[in-house]
Amino acid sequence: DQQVKQNSPSLSVQEGRISILNCDYTNSMFDYFLWYKKYPAEGPTFLISISSIKDKNEDGRFTVFLNKSAKHLSLHIVPSQPGDSAVYFCAASGENFNKFYFGSGTKLNVKP
Amino acid sequence: NAGVMQNPRHLVRRRGQEARLRCSPMKGHSHVYWYRQLPEEGLKFMVYLQKENIIDESGMPKERFSAEFPKEGPSILRIQQVVRGDSAAYFCASSPRRDGSNEKLFFGSGTQLSVL
């Protein structure tokens, strides 16, 4: 059962433009959401998180938006840089869960 | 300031052999998670452990797979009688003690298991 879904396997954007990565979830009990970035042959690294009591969290070039009614979150990267090229995973969890559920990832390619 | 340490980075086994993957969590972290990533797929939860306890093993295959996190030493993910389908990247993650607040996972670099 895929409780966290990333429907776009890949995304290509031009350097300097905005990258928008999307994520949907099915379980309304999730109350904590995270984005991870992964380079080849490395482990995922934490990027940004958001609690369900908020609808937006910003950290530098990265902003995560949460729409609880739609069970949807998105990661905005602006301006995009070539070094942002990686696979991005969204993840969800909550106080009632012992694990973090991950999406299948979106491969972002930022073209110079 | 060591992060999560996994070894080996690469492990090659023939069908039927055993694979042992090790994970040392970040200092001060008492919670360990194991995830598996098959080629072209996302991260699949396998098991969540605290020191000397398995908390959630709902993602572990019923046979051949086991995990432990002893009082002393690293967490071990053990795969007996490996098959080609076990070939994957295995990631360990750790987090500090849970107190009801949300927290993030810190991942190691993974072990790439290849079964010939």
- For residue A3, what is the DSSP state? -
pLDDT at B102: 64
Whether B31 contacts B10, CB under 8 Å: no
- CB of B74 within 8 Å of a chain A CB? The answer is no
What percent of chain A stands above pLDDT 90? 91
Beta bridge partners of A88: A37, A106
pLDDT at B40: 76
Asked if A73 and A88 count as a contact pair (C-beta separation under 8 A), the reply is no
d(CA A33, CA A48): 9
Q: CA separation (Å) from A27 to A5, A109, B27?
A: 11, 30, 33
Give B27-69 pLDDT, tens digit per residue. Answer: 888 899 999 998 778 899 999 999 889 999 999 998 999 999 9
Contacts of B48 in chain A (CB under 8 A): 98-99
Q: Which of B6, B55, B105 sits opposite A98 (nearest CB)?
A: B55
- Strands B10-13 and B5-7, sheet pairing: unpaired
- What pLDDT, in 10s, does the model give residues B2-13? 799 999 999 999
Tokens of B53: 């306890």
Residues, chain B, total?
116
Task: State phi, psi for A38 to the nearest 5 degrees.
Answer: -135, 125
Please judge whether A36 and B107 are an interchain contact, meaning their C-beta atoms are less than 8 angstroms apart.
yes
Question: Residue B77: its pLDDT value, please?
Answer: 98
Instruction: Provide the pLDDT confidence category of residue A2 given band limits of 50, 70 and 90.
Output: confident
Q: Which chain B residues contact residue A93 at CB under 8 A?
A: 102
Number of CB pairs, chain A paired with chain B, less than 8 A apart = 58
The pairing of strands B111-115 and B88-95 is antiparallel
User: Considering only alpha carbons, which residue of chain A is nearest residue B47?
Assistant: A99
pLDDT at B78: 98
Q: Are strands A62-67 and B19-24 parallel, antiparallel or unpaired?
A: unpaired
Cis peptide before A79, with omega less than 30 degrees from 0? yes
Chain A residues inside the 8 Å CB shell of B4: 43
Among partner residues B43, B58, B106, which is closest to A89 by beta-carbon distance? Answer: B43
pLDDT at A105: 95
Measured between alpha carbons, how far apart are the two ends of chain A, in Å? 38
A106-111 and A10-14 strand pairing: parallel
Q: How far apart are CA B46 and CA B44, in angstroms?
A: 6
